[in-house]
Amino acid sequence: MTRIFETPIYPYQRSADQDAPAPVRHKVVVVGAGPVGLVTAVDLAHQGVPVVVVDENDKVSFGSRAICFAKRPLEILDRLGCGQQMVDKGVTWNLGKVFFHDREIYSFNLLPGEGHRRPAFINLQQYHFEKFLVDHIRHMQADGAPIEIRGRNKVSAVGLHNDHVTLEIDTPEGSYNIDAEWLVACDGANSPIRKMLGLGFTGQVFEDNFLIADVVMEAEFPTERWFWFDPPFNKGQSALLHKQPDNVWRIDMQLGWDIDREAELKPENIRRRLHAMLGSDAKFELEWTSIYTFQCARMEHFRKGRVLFAGDSAHQVSPFGARGANSGIQDADNLAWKLRAVINGEAPEALLDSYCHEREQAADENILNSTRSTEFITPKSEISHIFRDAVLDLAEHHEFARPLVNSGRLSVPTIHDGSPLNGPDAAGLPAETRPGAPAVDAPLRKGWLLDRLGDGFKLLAIGIDVPDELAGIEVVQLATDESDALAARWLGGAGRALYLIRPDQHVAARWLEYDRDAITAAHDRALARQ
Amino acid sequence: MPQLTLHANIPAPDDFYEALLAAHEGLSKAQSDALNARLILLLANHIGDPGILREALEKAAGQSAG
């Protein structure tokens, strides 16, 4: 059986650019067709910005890699018109179980509050995620969207200029040159673009190895996330079991620092480990195995002139908490509308500095969370180990200790407090929808709030009339009694509210009274025009 | 703002001290370390207030450094 990740899905094709007498200039070139590059490109094309994606490969990710996609990224995909197939294919899980030594010490339910369209998480192999996006791009192309993917196109040189970037690209038929007005580097943690530009990537390397095994098995295990601290089958280390679609199970096993990597990767040794974990009579096939180490690191600035970095190229976290791909997709969401506004001349380049401000803030938050999880899962000192075990011992019997157990703080969106794009806040409205926050979904009489917001600037008016037409802002008028969730999340105790929502569905500003000048000023501010 | 209590607050200090040592009686160093850690976590949760916990951490750290 040929596996999905072994089949070329964007095979090399000769481009007219390769025969052009002079380098062809493109509006935006995205380097890397992983989740972040694909979402960036889809978002740009969705907003009408012509984009070319180049990738040195021609296939989806090898192996499952990122497997947890969180609520906010799913909402972003909904905005782009491809969330539903992800959710339909993905495995929805709510229950997590925590084991210590040979016993289950407690379980937790991730079930979000009522009134959200999307679950907290789905499990979906990265190769499915990428395949759905490539399929979506094919549909967009059929509808005439300005988007193109070039497989086996490897950037071999990059040159920075004031108003463009030059690229040399190697292909199976030799190299060619193109220019890009803007370059988005989504080329992963080892980002060749970052290295070619000599930009730093600093942080902390964790001295540990993790074995990942994707196994196909018909198993009785329920659809839950099981996490083991110091289990009998992996003494002194940790382990994770997670279900993916198609009867594929993800197993992560911590191996420690001093290992014989080659020996550990031998199928017979992996099988022996898995039998110890799953039972000697477990029947499974190995789909993909890998050993990884990780670091928490980030670039100092996510922008270098006309080059913008998004996803792992800009920041890397430990895998605990699923904060890699999820934060990268939110980078794309944050960047695409800003790039469009700058390219269309609606906003100054300074708007792109707010991308750095906001997403560097998010990277710091993700690195902080993932570093803390790593410290708990793999204690670095004797006393850290003592406290970790004490927390786990107490958690078995006492509810109070469970919030201290940290097997990964699962990805939630960053609220961009202090963003230069934020406008005024109004006292008395709920904290969760304050300026800088991503719009919180709520059911309406028909459909969902986030679908009504879509993209583009919106003035969400709940229980208040908007008498004017506003340039560049579409009004979404709702009654206060659409749903209890809408009232709780967007009104609190107030009887009415006005929200200016950015194209990435983040709150820019909010008021209790209509004031045309204030709204125009907040709109200008959200576009960095003042 | 509540503050860390630094005046004598344990009604029968000798009784408490005896009970504290008795809890460790017969334990190995590793078992005692684990007990201490559990005790700290239980008491910290009981206190709850982040300001008081921070103050207690600072006081404890300052003492050992001094």
Gap from B19 CA to chain A (nearest CA, Å): 20
Residue B19 touches chain A, beta carbons under 8 Å: no
Which pLDDT score, from 0 to 100, does residue A364 have? Answer: 96
Mean pLDDT of A44-67: 93
Kindly state whether residues A455 and A517 are assigned to the same domain: yes
Q: Which long-range contacts (CB under 8 A, 24 or more apart) does B31-34 make?
A: B33/A383, B33/A386, B34/A386, B34/A389, B34/A390, B34/A393
Q: Choose the most confident range, by mean pLDDT, from A93-97, A111-115, A402-406.
A: A402-406
Domain count, chain A: 2
Q: What kind and span of H or E run contains B65?
A: helix B50-65
Quick check: is A77 in a domain?
Answer: no
* Range of the structural domain that residue B44 is part of: 28-65
Share of chain A above pLDDT 90, in %: 87
Which pLDDT score, from 0 to 100, does residue B30 have? Answer: 97
To test the contact with chain A by mutation, choose from B35, B41, B43 the residue with the greatest count of A C-beta atoms within 10 A, namely B41
Quick check: is B42 in a domain?
Answer: yes
Kindly state whether residues A493 and A435 are assigned to the same domain: yes
Quick check: is A518 in a domain?
Answer: yes
* Range of the structural domain that residue A510 is part of: 431-526
Which pLDDT score, from 0 to 100, does residue B65 have? Answer: 46
Quick check: is A168 in a domain?
Answer: no
Which pLDDT score, from 0 to 100, does residue A220 have? Answer: 75
For tokens 């960036």, name the residue: A40
- Rounded Cα gap, residues A235 and B49, in angstroms: 36
Q: For residue A212, is pLDDT > 90? A: yes
Listed in sequence order, the DSSP H helices in A301-349 are 325-343
Which pLDDT score, from 0 to 100, does residue B64 have? Answer: 53
Quick check: is B21 in a domain?
Answer: no
Among A257-266, A301-310, B31-40, the range scoring the smallest mean pLDDT is A257-266
Quick check: is A446 in a domain?
Answer: yes
Domain count, chain B: 1
Mean pLDDT of A226-233: 96
Residue B60 touches chain A, beta carbons under 8 Å: no
Mean pLDDT of A182-203: 96
Which pLDDT score, from 0 to 100, does residue A483 have? Answer: 96
Residue contact B33–A393, C-beta within 8 A: no
Higher-confidence position of A58 and B2? A58
Quick check: is A6 in a domain?
Answer: no
Gap from B11 CA to chain A (nearest CA, Å): 27
- Rounded Cα gap, residues A378 and A318, in angstroms: 12
Residue contact A401–B34, C-beta within 8 A: no
Question: Which chain A residues are within 8 Å of B41, Cβ to Cβ?
Answer: 387, 390-391, 394, 401, 404
Size of interface A-B (CB pairs under 8 A): 25
Q: If you ran DSSP here, which 8-state letter would residue B66 be given?
A: -
Which pLDDT score, from 0 to 100, does residue A223 have? Answer: 83
Quick check: is B32 in a domain?
Answer: yes
The phi and psi torsions of A476 (rounded to 5 degrees) equal -115, 110
Which pLDDT score, from 0 to 100, does residue A2 have? Answer: 62
Gap from A371 CA to chain B (nearest CA, Å): 21
Residue A425 touches chain B, beta carbons under 8 Å: no
Quick check: is B17 in a domain?
Answer: no
Gap from B30 CA to chain A (nearest CA, Å): 8
Of A353, A385, A404, the position where a domain reaches its end is: A404
3-state secondary structure A38-98: HHHHHHHHHCCCCEEEECCCCCCCCCCCCCEEEHHHHHHHHHCCCHHHHHHHCEECCEEEE
Confidence of residue A113 (pLDDT cuts 50, 70, 90): low
To test the contact with chain B by mutation, choose from A387, A397, A406 the residue with the greatest count of B C-beta atoms within 10 A, namely A387
> What Å distances lie between residue A217 and A244, A247, A264, CA to CA?
11, 6, 21
- Rounded Cα gap, residues A310 and A36, in angstroms: 7
- Rounded Cα gap, residues A362 and B36, in angstroms: 36
The phi and psi torsions of A336 (rounded to 5 degrees) equal -60, -45
- Rounded Cα gap, residues A172 and A170, in angstroms: 7
Quick check: is A361 in a domain?
Answer: no
Question: Which chain B residues are within 8 Å of A401, Cβ to Cβ?
Answer: 41, 45
Quick check: is B1 in a domain?
Answer: no
Quick check: is B2 in a domain?
Answer: no
The enclosing domain of A463 has a CATH number of 3.40.30.120
Quick check: is A497 in a domain?
Answer: yes
Cβ-nearest to A393 among B33, B38, B45: B38
